[in-house]
Amino acid sequence: MVMKFPMSDLNISDATAHPLTRYRNHLEFLGYRVEEGEDDLVGRHTRKPNLMVRPISDRGVLVSTLYSFTPGLDRLATLEYVNDLNGALMFMKAYVDDDLDLVMETFFEGEYDRSNFSILLDNIEYDMRVFFSIELTRDYFG
């Protein structure tokens, strides 16, 4: 059994604690299984989008989700789909990365705040409902 204590109970200041600790705890509370890297978190969930959280120096965190396209798709049609997707998404931006995966991401400005991070996650879930409601999404991601 792993015991978790608030940083103050461990006599560790927020400045010395891992900068993503609060985000990890928040995601775990919501049922995510979180893997922690040197400079990012990957949260996996059975019913919600998998998320990657990466700190941006003294600015906030970048929250991303990634989907692999069905192999063999027409590049121009794929880019048109991503363009249409960006027109439909409210809170996230979508693009095709160097590995030809679809990345959707949003930015959380400033230091961790439980209420505001909850709102950001709600916004992501809203955009994910939009993403899955688009007919071509099924074609591109099976």
Which element (helix H / strand E) includes 123?
Answer: helix 114-133
How many angstroms separate the CA atoms of 35 and 20, rounded? 11
Residues 64, 50: contact at Cβ < 8 Å?
no
On whether residue 44 sits in a domain, the answer given is: no
Residue 39 within any structural domain of the chain: no
Q: Does a structural domain hold residue 4?
A: no
Q: Is the pLDDT of residue 11 over 70?
A: no
Domain presence at residue 15 = no
The answer to whether 108 touches 61, Cβ cutoff 8 Å, is yes
pTM: 0.83
Residue 99: inside a domain, yes or no? yes
38 lies in some domain: no
Count up the domains in the chain and report the number.
1
Q: pLDDT tens for residues 24-37?
A: 999 999 999 999 98
Look at residue 37 in the predicted model and tell me its pLDDT.
85
> What is the residue range of 78's domain?
55-142
Structure confidence at residue 8 (pLDDT): 46
Which runs of consecutive H residues, i.e. helices, occur in 2-96? 21-29, 75-88
Q: Are 88 and 100 in contact (CB under 8 A)?
A: no
Note whether residue 131 is domain-resident: yes
